[in-house]
Amino acid sequence: MNTIEIQNLSKVYPDGTKALNNVSFNVKPGEAVVLLGHNGSGKSTLFRCITSFEKPTEGQIKIDGVNITKLSKGKLRPIRKKVGMVFQHFNLINNLSVFQNVLSGAMGKVRFAFQTFAPLASKELRREAMECLERVGLSDLAKRRADQLSGGQQQRVAIARMLMQNPQVVLADEPIASLDPKAGREVMDLLWEIVRERGLTVVCILHQMDIAKEYGDRIVALKSGKVVIDDHIHDLNDELMASLYEKEMVEEEDKENIMAAVKVGGM
Ligand SMILES: Nc1ncnc2c1ncn2[C@@H]1O[C@H](COP(=O)(O)OP(=O)(O)OP(=O)(O)O)[C@@H](O)[C@H]1O
Q: Provide the strand spans (E) within 13-48.
A: 18-27, 32-36
Atom of ligand 1 at shortest range from CA of 11: 12
Q: What is the pLDDT of residue 255?
A: 67
pLDDT for position 254: 66
Tally of CB atoms within 10 A around 5: 16
- Are 150 and 90 in contact by the 8 Å Cβ rule? The answer is no
Q: pTM here?
A: 0.88
Answer whether 40 contacts ligand 1 (Cβ < 6 A): yes
Task: Give residue 40 CA to ligand 1 midpoint distance, Å.
Answer: 5
For residue 205, the model assigns a pLDDT of: 96
- The alpha carbon of 145 is separated from its chain's Cα centroid by a whole number of angstroms, namely 24
Could you tell me if the CB of 82 is within 6 A of ligand 1?
Answer: no
Q: How far is the CA of 189 from the centre of ligand 1 (A)?
A: 29
CB neighbour burial string for 83-114, b if at least 16 within 10 angstroms, e if fewer: bbbbbbebebeeebbbbbbbbbbbebbeeeee
Q: What is the pLDDT of residue 3?
A: 93
Q: Which of 12, 35, 43 to mutate to test the pocket of ligand 1 (most atoms within 8 A of CB)?
A: 43
pLDDT for the residue 230: 96
The pLDDT value recorded for residue 47 is: 94
Closest CA to 154 of 88, 107, 205, 198: 88
Enumerate residue ranges in the chain where pLDDT < 50. none
